Amino acid sequence: MTRRRVHAVSLLALLLLFFLPQSRAQTPPERAAASRLIGEVFANGQQLSYVSALSDRIGSRLTGTANARRAEEWAEGEMKRLGLVNVRREPYRMAASWERGPASAALVSGGNNRPLAVASYTWTPGTEGPVEGEVVDVGAGRPEDVRRVASQVKGRIALVVPEGADLDSVIYNFYRAAGLVRELKDAGARAVLLAADKPHSILYTAPVEFTATGKLAALPTVSLAREDVLLLRRLLSQNQTPRIRLDVHNRIGGAFDATNVVGEIRGSGLADELVVVGAHLDSNDLGPGALDNGAGSGAVLETARAIKALGLRPRRTIRFVLFTGEEEGMVGSIAYVERHRAEMDKTVAALVMDIGAGRPQGWFSMGRTDLDAEIRELSEPLAQFGDFTIEHAAFAATDNAPFMAEGVPNLILIQDETPYFPVHHTIADTPDKIEPRDYASAVAVFASTAYAIADRPQRFGRRLTADEIKRMADETKVGDQWRAAGIWK
């Protein structure tokens, strides 16, 4: 997707230009409050401290691990310290636990015993002892690629090199992984090597199956360093047949309870209406998850802190939710919507931040073209200078998706992806990748928009009917993703 780039300093200037009151008669109260929020975030924002607490002091937060439980406890304590009300941890059931074990690989053909850099994908099985096999190149792993080599796969180890590293490609590969691995198992493969797209032997991880569906990956699946992928392809291009030995020791356990962390600022006048402000607290386990998604969690907590620090009270209740289980297929947010289904009519909007700490560039409206006018009104300083983007693409890749499937207006902050995808789901996802002013700009836009929606006299958009949801899902193809993730049963 094409993004217009917005410089942080000019963004702040534009926001302040728009939101600073010219006179009491001219400026709606919610805009004056938003102006104060922006100033508070830039002057006193604690978002970097929140990221550091999660990434440096706790570390990786794979749902179900001791670190994830520590993060849930920390977030609950932080919400209480900020003075939020109705703070609680809402449990839900995960279908299986998973623990990473040692993984090793080596090129053993041609008299070699050359180590290869690998790391297991999450929620995938081990090899149950070393396995060996010749490598077969399955290209990008699209269905036609598997069909092309299906007769050559039996007893071999499949090498797959997914294409693209932008948001669209990441989402496609995320949803393709489960079917790909099942197809390769059916063809007789012994294991799968998925090429990492990062430089310098940095490895990548993600789940293969959606744990909300109760399924686990069909085959041992590992990330293989880019340099080793290129080695194997060079050998194949020379009509050699590389042979790999792979040994993976993962542990899969039974079902367990995880929790979403919830707290509120109660509204005044329209307190029974809700604006959900959320991000996922969990991370994958190779790195400490600073950008994915310590940055989003920090934005949620900073939004709450800034509102409380200024003594603001919106018309509607703002419910702050730090979801877990997102990396496994939005399990926590699916559980939240199921638990709170009776409140969906009263849920005015759900705002989510989950594209790192880059400069803000607009909003994904998730197929809701009917919201354009209201989004532009809320974000007029960007729109009137031509720097603001509304993108209507609908996809299920983070915790807004279950709200989208319920017809609730839902927004994801569009951000500069440049700092994000090079370290996404890797050991390199650390706080030093955050440019403080860019991150503060993103948090300021996120917080001020959330508050404006919660405090404006009129409701933001409306909930779609069941027929409208189905039509939107069919037109955008997001319904296929909802089914794959278990959002639509």
Please state, rounded to an integer, the average pLDDT across all residues of the chain: 92
Residue 25, pLDDT > 70, answer: no
- Rounded percentage of the chain residues whose pLDDT exceeds 70: 93
In this prediction, residue 201 has a pLDDT band, given cuts at 50, 70 and 90, of very high
pTM of the model: 0.93
Query: CATH fold of 99-252, please?
Result: Glucose Oxidase; domain 1 (3.50.30)
Residue 330 CA to residue 335 CA, distance in Å, equals 9
Tell me, what DSSP letter sits at residue 161?
-
Query: CATH fold of 8-95+255-485, please?
Result: Aminopeptidase (3.40.630)
Domain boundaries, the chain: 8-95+255-485, 99-252
Q: What is the pLDDT of residues 137-188, one digit of tens each?
A: 999 999 999 999 999 999 999 999 999 878 888 899 999 999 999 999 999 9
Q: What is the pLDDT of residues 263-303, one digit of tens each?
A: 999 999 999 999 999 999 999 999 999 999 999 999 999 99
How far is the CA of 143 from the CAs of 49, 137, 140, 188, 482, in angstroms? Answer: 45, 14, 9, 16, 20
> In the beta sheet, which residues pair with residue 322?
261, 279
Residue 30, pLDDT > 80, answer: no
Q: Which residue has the higher pLDDT, 14 or 210?
A: 210
3-state secondary structure of 89: strand
Q: What is the pLDDT of residues 213-241, one digit of tens each?
A: 777 899 999 999 999 999 999 999 999 99
User: How much is the average pLDDT of 387-404?
Assistant: 94
Q: What is the pLDDT of residues 409-454, one digit of tens each?
A: 999 999 999 999 999 999 999 999 999 999 999 999 999 999 999 9
In this prediction, residue 2 has a pLDDT band, given cuts at 50, 70 and 90, of very low
How far is the CA of 249 from the CAs of 54, 185, 246, in angstroms? Answer: 27, 19, 10
Q: What angle do CA 52, 100, 172 make, to 5 degrees?
A: 80
